[in-house]
């Protein structure tokens, strides 16, 4: 039975640190066939934008500044996401025997594993079909529509994900709302009215009860384990690894040239 490394960050972290950890994991698997599954939280409301997005077109900067909302830029593509009262997952892998070599197919595999975990919570989730062109080509937030092979419940997106590939290795991370923060998402977005409306589902809203981080992560991890037929082995970072992560955090994700202008650091 194959083994994956499981990382569960029980303490919410700063957005720049969360992004640095995912990038470190992506680079750490360059020479070995490994897979990491990570679950984490955010210490304060944080907006993340996709690699190619222009912040002024998608983020209400004045609102974020007035309300102490952090902004980070991901190395993955995709659209604006508000990270608040959610579970974030990431999969970093260089295992080309488990995952197909294309973004779309590996994306679908991960979505199906997430659906398996959501069903363990009692949530009847399913893969979405094509999103409208106004979403695909426009600047709408991530939770405006489910894109192809993303996950929805009753026509609303419950998981929003993005992936970056470097040859045969990739990182995919995504947002799973625990609480419905659609109003705040619309506020941090620069889009207003019908154009900026979100169609978000949350774990608590669907289940009609409070959902704990630990319980939800257990269900999701078990779903991955069963879907891929693998064993989870806990992973803790060593001191030297944390030093490298801190360097990535400092040089990229806390660097305004990267965040606001996407200059390589």
In the residue annotation, 142 being an active-site residue is answered as yes
Candidates 64, 92, 142, 219; catalytic one? 142
**What distance, in Å, lies between the first and last C-alpha atoms of the chain?**
40
Do residues 235 and 241 make contact, with C-beta atoms less than 8 angstroms apart? Answer: no
- 69: closest CA among 59, 77, 79, 58? 59
Residue 117, CA distances (Å) to 46, 100, 227, 235, 237 in order: 25, 21, 9, 21, 26
| Strand 81-83 with 2-8, pairing | unpaired
Active site residues: 142
């Amino acid at each position: 039975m194959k083994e994956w490394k499981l990382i569960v960050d029980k303490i919410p972290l700063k957005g720049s640190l969360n992004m640095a950890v995912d990038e470190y994991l992506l680079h750490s698997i360059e020479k070995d066939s490994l897979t990491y599954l990570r679950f984490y939280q955010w210490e304060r409301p944080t907006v993340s934008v996709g690699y190619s997005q222009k912040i002024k077109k998608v983020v209400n900067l004045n609102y974020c500044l007035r309300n102490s909302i952090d902004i980070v830029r991901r190395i993955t593509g995709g659209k604006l996401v508000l990270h608040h009262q959610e579970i974030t997952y990431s999969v970093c892998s260089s295992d080309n025997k488990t995952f197909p070599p294309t973004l779309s197919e590996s994306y679908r595999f991960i979505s199906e594993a997430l659906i398996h975990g959501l069903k363990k919570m009692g949530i009847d989730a399913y893969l979405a079909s094509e999103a409208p062109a106004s979403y695909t080509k426009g600047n709408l937030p991530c939770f405006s529509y489910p894109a192809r092979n993303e996950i929805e419940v009753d026509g609303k997106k419950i998981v929003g994900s993005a992936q970056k590939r470097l040859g045969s290795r990739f990182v995919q991370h995504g947002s799973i709302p625990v609480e419905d923060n659609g109003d705040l998402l619309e506020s941090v977005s620069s889009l207003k009215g019908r154009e900026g409306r979100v169609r978000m589902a949350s774990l608590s809203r669907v289940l009609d009860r409070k959902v704990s981080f630990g319980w939800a992560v257990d269900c999701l991890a078990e779903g991955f384990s069963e879907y891929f037929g693998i064993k989870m082995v806990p992973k803790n970072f060593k001191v030297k690894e944390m030093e490298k992560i801190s360097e990535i955090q400092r040089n990229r994700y806390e660097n305004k040239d990267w965040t606001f202008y996407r200059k390589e650091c």
